[in-house]
Amino acid sequence: MFADPKVPSSAGRDATGMCAATVEFRHVSKSYDRRDGPAAVDDLTFTVPAGSVCVLVGPSGCGKTTSLKMVNRLIEPTGGQILVDGTDVAGEEVTALRRRIGYVIQQVGLFPHRTVGENVTTVPRLLGWSREQQRERAEELLGLVGLDPARYRDRYPAQLSGGERQRVGVARALAADPPLMLMDEPFAAVDPIVRERLQNEFLRIQAELAKTILFVTHDIDEAIKMGDLVAVMQAGGHLAQFAPPDEILARPASDFVARFVGADRGLKRLSLSRIGALPLHQAVTAVAGEPVGDARQRSLADPFPFLLLIDRAGRPLGWLPDRDVPADGIVDERLAIPASPLLERETTLKDALSMMIAADVQAGIVVDPAGRVLGLLTMEALGAAGRAGAAGRAGAGAALRRAERRPAAARPPAAAP
């Protein structure tokens, strides 16, 4: 059902081998008490398409970790089936199954008596790869997760920081190029700054590898950030909602989901969208130091009560209230209110809103990479975007996010946290 992991594809084996598996839960249940006790997982049914990240999120005790462990059969379900690429995992030889599924846990679980290199090649060694293949793979993966192989390969886990250990944990899970990865709160044990970095790098790596990933977290913000699909679970192991993040935020399926995602779900939604192709208000501009011409008339005719001063290259200099625009003569830059905030197409709507609230003039000046004015983002436009689904509906949102990950992939691996 999977590509044979025993045969690493020749010398040029790179980390970008695209292989991913579909995962399907069919009425999966797990109960620990046979006599109608509360189920740990209750009739779970959903499908994760190959190559996407599905985040299982919910309060503690909602059965999300149990669900994850049933995929690699660390826990056996009491009912239903889990299919990986169409094959029921229950029918697989359990060790062979696990060797084809990457596994990352919260406590990382690196072997303290093994070096970083040995830890990374745990599964390849179980699969009987040659020493040379193992060595090559370790180097490649350490590079992928941003750890210099020459520096880190022979260290022991005790000599690493928390963030470095998590990176090694991810590298280890990727070692045999599994089509499916299970990640159980992989970033929960590190501080928020390192977590943010690991999340971003994870998205960069995922954009490159496109694995199927089941990811467990109790943090709704992490779920929204990381997931192509989010499965919100609630106590008793019920699936409360299964949808792309934007839809979870825009249309929570129940009160529970609405409460769980929080009262600020509107803001969270804005964080999913970028200014991108939103319609911009055409700014009325005048070039500083040049004759003002009919700028006053144009500015008064425009509903937006400010004129934007720009330099000769088209870069914004400052705002001038309509009534202060001289009828003739030269426009004096010194009268202007400083031009802020400056936004780019890539700025998230949440960041845009945050900056606009703090500014003197509540409109965002959207500029191109050279700093030239493209147009204005007004509060009204932002509000409309928030209500309508911003840069498109759910599907488009996910596609947009994936597109955003791509440019990040081109960055050189950042230094270790």
Interacting residues with other proteins (CB under 8 A): 69, 72, 74, 95-100, 103, 105, 107-109, 111-114, 122-123, 126, 155-161, 163-164, 172, 182, 193-194, 197, 415-417
Encoded amino acid at 240, one letter: A
Report how far apart, in Å, the C-alpha atoms of 339 and of each of 40, 315, 319 are: 56, 10, 6
Q: Distance between CA 352 and CA 344 in Å, rounded?
A: 9
Closer CB to other proteins, 10 or 95, in the complex: 95
Closer CB to other proteins, 166 or 299, in the complex: 166
Q: What is the DSSP string of 19-75?
A: ----EEEEEEEEESSTTT--EEEEEEEEEE-TT-EEEEE-STTSSHHHHHHHHTTSS
Closer CB to other proteins, 159 or 282, in the complex: 159
Closer CB to other proteins, 191 or 380, in the complex: 191
CB-based contact 181:146 (threshold 8 Å): no
Closer CB to other proteins, 16 or 107, in the complex: 107
Nearest-approach distance from CB 333 to other proteins, in angstroms: 43
Closer CB to other proteins, 28 or 173, in the complex: 173
CB-based contact 326:345 (threshold 8 Å): no
Q: Distance between CA 373 and CA 382 in Å, rounded?
A: 18
Nearest-approach distance from CB 118 to other proteins, in angstroms: 10
CB-based contact 77:70 (threshold 8 Å): yes
Q: Distance between CA 184 and CA 31 in Å, rounded?
A: 20
Nearest-approach distance from CB 303 to other proteins, in angstroms: 48
Nearest-approach distance from CB 204 to other proteins, in angstroms: 17
Nearest-approach distance from CB 155 to other proteins, in angstroms: 7
Closer CB to other proteins, 82 or 307, in the complex: 82
Nearest-approach distance from CB 93 to other proteins, in angstroms: 10
Nearest-approach distance from CB 194 to other proteins, in angstroms: 6
CA atoms within 13 A on the CB side of 197: 16
CB-based contact 167:145 (threshold 8 Å): yes
Q: Count the helix, strand and coil residues of the chain and give each as a percent rounded to the nearest 5.
A: 35, 20, 40
Cβ neighbours, 10 Å, residue 33: 9
Report how far apart, in Å, the C-alpha atoms of 301 and of each of 335, 363, 374 are: 21, 18, 20
Closer CB to other proteins, 154 or 346, in the complex: 154
Q: Which residues contact 346 (CB under 8 A, 6 or more apart)?
A: 274, 275, 404
Nearest-approach distance from CB 122 to other proteins, in angstroms: 6
